[in-house]
Chain A
Amino acid sequence: MSGDYHGDDDHEHQSAWGPHDWSHGAPHNSWAPIIMSIGIGIFLYTVASAYSWGEMVDPSSIPLIFLGLTISFFGMIIWWRQDASFDGIYEPRATGTPFQNIQIRKVAMWMFLMSEMMVFTSLFSTYMRYRLGLTPCVEIYESGSWIVNSQTIDSGEAVNCFLPASELIASSWFHIAPGAINTFALIISSFTIVQALRWAKKPVGSVDEEVRRKRVYRYLGSTWILAIIFLTLKMVEWFVGFYIPEIGFLGLHEHDIVSLVNEGYTIHADHYHPHHGWEDTHLAELAAANPSEFEEYFANIASIEGGYVTTDAVMMADIRVSTSTFFVTTGTHGAHVFIGIIGLTYMTWKAWTGGYTPQNAVSIEYFGLYWHFVDLIWVLVFPFFYLY
């Protein structure tokens, strides 16, 4: 671009948007940073002008959102185009102690993961603050404290309480199935990415190059497919739900597994109706101890049958805090998987062209570090948000 710098291998791999990174020692120019920054700016701006407090206020900004995404993506393509021809001629290594001889970019990836750790730490802190600080909805329901008098019930006043998603997800094997399959998908994908690295790293001569090419892109491709499965199942679990047919010998009845959003578990759920087999012991005790008071206040909304209270009264819960923490934390993890998919798409393509050799196989390792991290986070997210 500048015309000033001609590295050793500049002529072979000239790109319209600047020579690729680290191909030679001299600085190298790139249009990618400024284009990506402008794209991200347009994206953040237009999303905030299109939506406000959860409502679409300016539909004319919607096309601009996609414009912003397109520009960012275009910048990323430029970034990769500069990298695509990289064949491992120069992979800088550490000179100083104590990391002597380690690839510099590997250290950088570890550093990056350190700050990523803090991102999820903050999200988990938020979650713990609300999970431990707010009264669980079940407790409020079972104590009966939500019934102040029959008038409150009629007016539908909502109670602030915490309703973990696990209340819905862990309620049956079928509800938890997408999350469980996802866990295995991610763990297996961590295995396949290591296999891709292993095959890419085999010394030249010890393996047929065509076999290497096939193995690497197939393993990377499997990782890609597993990641796609992960996001697809997540969408099913959040938005779509699925259908269980009648299978007699398994004892299955035909029924729908409703998605979280269709259950009403959304970020706007300020009048949510929890109804998952909780037992209202408070009213039963009240009825037993003081039948006349029970009659006076609650007879029109509840009755005692076999020791349990059946009631037509509906407890309304404001669970927006619970849903916000759930969707944003798992969503942030999902976004990391999505970014991984974008990276894997590029890497699978590069492997298809036979781009990975023992010299530059280490870039699969860098991605693998990130991917294991995403996997590890899921291993924490799953019990915290799905099981308990």
Chain B
Amino acid sequence: MNKTKIHARSIIVMSILLLAMAFSPLVSSFPTGISGVKDSGCNCHGATTSESVIPTIEGLPEVYNYSETYELTVGFTGGPSTIGNINLGGFHLWASEGELASNDATVQRYNPSEVGHTEIGNDQTSWTLIWTAPASDKNIEFILHTNSVNGNAGGGAGSSGDEWNRLTAKVSAPIEVLEQANPYVVLSTLIVISAILLVITVTYIFYRTNPDSFNWKTFEPWICEWLTSTDHKKVGTLYFLAGLFFLGVGGIMALMIRIQLSVPGNDFLTQDQYNQFFTLHGTTMIFLAAMPLINGFANWMVPLQIGAPDLALPRINAMSFWLQPVGALLIFTGVFSGTGADTGWTGYAPYIVSETAHVGTTMWVAGQIMLVASSTLTGVNFLTTIAVMRAPGMGWMQMPLFTWSILVANLMLFLSIPAFGVGLVQVYLDRVIGTAFYDAGSGGDPLLWSHLFWYFGHPEVYVVIVPAFGVISEVIATSARRTVFGYRSMVYAMAGIGVVSFIVYGHHMFTSGMSPTLRFVTMLTTMLVAVPTGIKIFNWLKTMHRGSLVYRTHTLWALGFLVTFTLGGISGMFFPSMAMDLHFHESYFVVAHFHYVLVGGTVFGFFSAIYYWFPKMTGRMLDERLGVLHFLTAFISYNGVFWPMHRLGVWGMARRHHTYFISTEEAMGSLPAEAAGWNMFISVSAFLFFFSNFLLIANMIKSVIRGKKAPADPWGGWSFEWMTSSPPPTPSFGHFNHGEWIDLPTLKDSNEEHIGNDPSPLVKWFQSLMVLDDENEEVNN
């Protein structure tokens, strides 16, 4: 136990180090571009401020009048004067609101919020300029920098005769404006609070399992067990918790985006902050919420469904998981220090390798590299497990459909993600050591990034949807109390999606100027995706048609999935059509479409999976009444969020824009007046949707603490996972004796008539190609 303590402590120290780095403002302290003077001061005039220079600003009112023009006089006194010399210098003024303008030739305007001296104005002690107050109520801040140069000391950069100082001044609005919280602070606080809540909940659950012996001595080995476990069930639970946590974090970001968009011309988020929020919302939801949720269930169910004792490489599996939270910390680093990635989850070049992109982008890329490594290891692990560790007698065509879906998803993932990884490494090197892969100035091709990204990115969206297909197949077959209709066609449909996914990515680049021939080809292949997807939908309908459906919560989610996913699929058919795509791309129609497939598809699918497999995972039943309430509130509010977005998209509301304007007249870029109402409706629905999911959380906590004990097979399922107890023992099947596994289940133990199928001719042929190991080794063993 003593050693465990040391290990736990060293882990804690390392984690604190990493956390401290994540929160440190290190990466934000390299101001970029012209705004640098405002933040960092006139570094070229010496490293630090000097007390002897006293900047002054005159002509500022205490309270301004709307749109009134004020003449300001800025200047300074003091500085490195020696007797007989007059100090001269320059200035830089920044105003948070209103417009600054020059009055004469000694002042120049950089942009509406920044002015500075001109070359001829560089040898004065005071300057005059114009400031126009804004037309609305704002708290206004002025930041003035002046430097003072001793005429005889030579002046110039860093000379002792050159000093500078900073002055800030505040002007109030005619009507008092309350200080607004910084959205970064709101987000960081919420993330930290959620993390603390998660820890408290987990600790509480541990406490409730055995209230008498709750102390550090029993808690420590328990927590160390979770930190070091390589058991597929424990790692699966970790994935699951991480996925739910980040689903919440991504949801919080979505809410802040919706607050910003609820009314036209809102300024809750600045454009800069909005860019970071939608970037991190996308990244979090795809890589940190959807993928871990899928991996959580895959970890739990795949070995159980194929009758394997564990995954093929248990320690690699733990490695895949632990790369994720650390990668997540790097991704969020920028937000904690106020300079998160602002590139969109696609991180398009050349912006991502430009200095205008926030410095936090580098950390975002670094975090993504870790996630890519994690996904590669996961892919290797699952493909190996499914290929070689199926129970004796279980052929490819006897595998449960969820296992099939994980196989197809991981095959797609680990054949495509190296391209993304290489692209990320190239961007990382561009940003860190200065290579020029995407530097257009040196002949780099920004479109190359789009190719590498979307070669991965499009299979990736199928990677997150195909496992949901697997879940729905399981749930609908079990609920309809019959085998899934057209098992073989389901498998081929999934495999077909897997193959086609690699040749459709061009539709993300229709507007990049690609050749019309290729656009046409991509259009056809993309439309082809609808065929296997349609086969699956009809198979599910047909499964229910002759079955007798039992309406459990997981069944409801599966039915909800069928509706929303089909709608999302139909809106998806608008995009391969080039003429439509040119019109709809970059609009809210796209947002509506991919949220219909990703939330209505993946998230609903995995909500269904939670209700379906939670009893198996914890040995406790979930509350069905709370479950139905969750389904009703979430399903209705969900449609309230995303259905109106189609309309907004058709009206021309642009995605990735931090605000929008409405007008009754036909004006460029403005929306009809109803758009404001719809946006408010969407925002309200978004809040309802977010909070309705707390019903699920409450349900899970309640059930873990005092839920009804679950039987081995509560729903009447017949795949292998229902054969073990709930929760399953460790190892899940069989036991290990003298170097051999014994008592592993065989297919005969399961209900053969449900999944019984002969191996297909293709499988038999492939089998005949495989060479068995030589006899020699056997003898030696």
Contact = CB atoms under 8 A, between A and B. Distances in A.
Interface string B444-474: 1100100110000000000000000000000
Contact of A108 (B321, B384, B390, B443): B384
Interface in A350-365: 358-359
Nearest to A82: B315
A309 to B, nearest CB: 26
Contacts of B224: 1-2, 29
Contacts of B423: 122
A27 B231 contact: yes
Contacts of A30: 228, 230, 315, 318
B163 interface: no
Interface string A1-33: 111010110000000111001001111111111
Contacts of B7: 17, 31
Contact of A21 (B306, B315, B738, B781): B315
A105 B312 CA distance: 8
B369 interface: yes
A54 B433 contact: yes
B770 A100 contact: yes
Contacts of A40: 323, 326, 370, 373
B380 A115 contact: yes
Interface stretch (A129-137, A173-181, A189-197, A226-234): A129-137
Interface string B391-414: 110111000000000000000001
Contacts of A34: 11, 227-228, 318, 322
Interface of A: 1-3, 5, 7-8, 16-18, 21, 24-42, 44-49, 51-55, 57-58, 61, 64, 71, 79, 89-90, 92, 94-105, 107-108, 111-112, 114-116, 118-119, 121-123, 125-126, 129-130, 133-134, 160-162, 201, 203-204, 267-268, 270, 318, 320-321, 323-325, 327-328, 358-359
Interface stretch (B602-610, B651-659, B771-779): B771-779
Interface stretch (B119-127, B695-703, B759-767): B759-767
Contacts of A320: 435-436, 439, 442-444
A48 B448 contact: no
Interface string B220-264: 010011011111101000000000000000000000000000000
Given A94-B387, A318-B442, A126 B437 contact: yes
A74 B231 CA distance: 23
Interface string B313-329: 11110110111011101
B433 A33 contact: no
A52 B359 CA distance: 9
A47 B767 contact: no
A33 B329 CA distance: 16
Given A126-B437, A320-B439, A321-B443, 13 more contacts: A27-B234, A29-B229, A35-B10, A36-B319, A45-B21, A45-B22, A53-B434, A100-B772, A104-B388, A118-B415, A160-B442, A328-B429, A359-B780
A134 to B, nearest CB: 5
Contact of B26 (A33, A58, A94, A267): A58
B325 to A, nearest CB: 8
Contacts of B325: 37
B14 A38 contact: yes
Contacts of A31: 7, 11, 227-228
Contacts of A32: 315, 319
Interface centre among B26, B221, B234 (most CB of A within 10 A): B26
Contacts of A7: 736
Contacts of A25: 309, 731, 734-736, 741
A140 to B, nearest CB: 12
Contacts of B309: 25
A151 to B, nearest CB: 21
A37 B323 contact: yes
Contact of B315 (A79, A123, A130): A79
B422 interface: yes
B211 interface: no
A57 B329 CA distance: 22
A46 B362 CA distance: 11
Contacts of A16: 3
B381 interface: yes
B443 A130 contact: yes
Contact of A134 (B392, B433, B443): B443
Interface string B6-19: 01001100110110
Contacts of A318: 441-443
B525 interface: no
Contacts of B57: none
A24 B388 CA distance: 19
A107 B734 CA distance: 23
Interface in B718-742: 730-731, 734-739, 741
Contacts of A268: 434
Contact of A47 (B15, B333, B432): B432
27 contacts: A2-B229, A27-B234, A27-B314, A29-B224, A30-B315, A32-B319, A33-B228, A41-B326, A41-B327, A41-B370, A44-B428, A45-B366, A48-B363, A52-B432, A53-B431, A90-B739, A92-B312, A95-B308, A100-B772, A111-B384, A112-B380, A115-B379, A122-B423, A125-B419, A201-B777, A318-B442, A359-B780
A111 B366 contact: no
B315 A270 contact: no
Given A89-B739, A118-B418, A126-B426, A96 B363 contact: no
A102 B388 contact: yes
B395 A97 contact: yes
Contacts of A18: 228
A239 to B, nearest CB: 15
B422 A41 contact: no
B621 interface: no
Given A25-B731, A29-B230, A100-B772, A48 B434 contact: no
Interface string B360-386: 001100110110010010011101100
Given A1-B4, A33-B321, A37-B322, A122 B419 contact: yes
A115 B228 contact: no
A181 B21 CA distance: 44
Nearest to A29: B228
Nearest to A319: B442
Contacts of A108: 312-313, 316, 380-381, 384
A99 B313 CA distance: 17
Contacts of B323: 37, 40
A111 B388 contact: no
B433 A51 contact: yes
A92 B229 CA distance: 20
A38 B770 contact: no
Contacts of B129: none
Contacts of B17: 42
B780 A114 contact: no
B432 A48 contact: yes
Contacts of A35: 10-11, 14
Contact of A55 (B370, B434, B777): B434
Contact of A118 (B321, B369, B373, B419): B419
A52 B30 contact: yes
Contacts of A17: 7
A28 B230 contact: yes
Interface in B741-775: 741, 744, 759, 763, 766-767, 769-770, 772-773
Nearest to B781: A359
B487 to A, nearest CB: 18
Nearest to A1: B228
A97 B763 contact: yes
B389 interface: yes
A104 B384 contact: yes
Contacts of A42: 14, 17-18, 21
A54 B770 contact: no
Contacts of B451: 125
B415 A115 contact: yes
6 shortest A-B CB distances, which residue pairs? A54-B434, A25-B736, A96-B390, A94-B388, A320-B436, A27-B231
